[in-house]
Structure 1
Amino acid sequence: MMQSEVLIYTTAWCPFCIRAKKLLEHKQIEYTEISLDADPSKRQEMMARSQRRTVPQIFIGDTHVGGCDDLFRLEMTQALDPLLSPAPTTHNKD
């Protein structure tokens, strides 16, 4: 089964970043991490995309999930898994 791309902006010292990554890892969800420690210029990119200054900022596909609390809220309401699974493509039959 395919998974929507997960992107997370983080810093090494942020406990919320660590917590969000642990949830993704526990669920065996692959993600791409953009460390603002390694590339501070990425903070401007993150802020432009999310309209927020704090980390983590999490994106699933084109959807801005928000931060750690938002990710856990999705998990608790069973809304995370459907967001991770892209909608199946339908083919028109003539």
Structure 2
Amino acid sequence: MAEVVVYSSAWCPYCIRAKQLLSSKGVVFREIIVDGQPDVRAEMTRKAGRTSVPQIWIGATHVGGCDDLYALQRAGKLDVLLQS
């Protein structure tokens, strides 16, 4: 299974939804909290080109945020990406 990295914030409802979807699929992911860590948020922004959380990577693929993750699920593409 591909490594999954989620940049998130503790109180973000979109972060919670994204992590719930991944957990429901049995995915073990590495969570990087950006709260109170401007250097970490800046790193995420540089890598993703976005400032909002969550920002999700599956392997080398930048998925985007929560809505993007759910769109992959609805399209039947999330499981394929997770298996890559």
Q: State TM-score, norm by structure 2.
A: 0.96
Counterpart in the other structure of 2:9: 11
CA RMSD in angstroms, aligned pairs only: 0.9
* C-alpha deviation, 1:18, in angstroms: 0.3
Q: Where in structure 2 are the equivalents of 1:66-81 lying within 5 Å? A: 66-81=64-79
State percent identity of aligned pairs: 51
TM-superposition CA deviations, 1:45-83 (whole Å, max 9, x none): 100110000000000011000000000000011100110
The amino acid that maps onto 1:60 is I
The amino acid that maps onto 2:19 is K
Bigger helix fraction: 2
Of residues 30, 33, 53, the one that matches 1:32 is: 30
Larger radius of gyration: 1
The amino acid that maps onto 2:78 is L
The runs of 5 or more residues in structure 2 that have no matched partner are none
Counterpart in the other structure of 1:58: 56
The runs of 5 or more residues in structure 1 that have no matched partner are 87-94
* CA distance, structure 1, for counterparts of residue 25 and residue 37 of structure 2: 27
Counterpart in the other structure of 1:46: 44
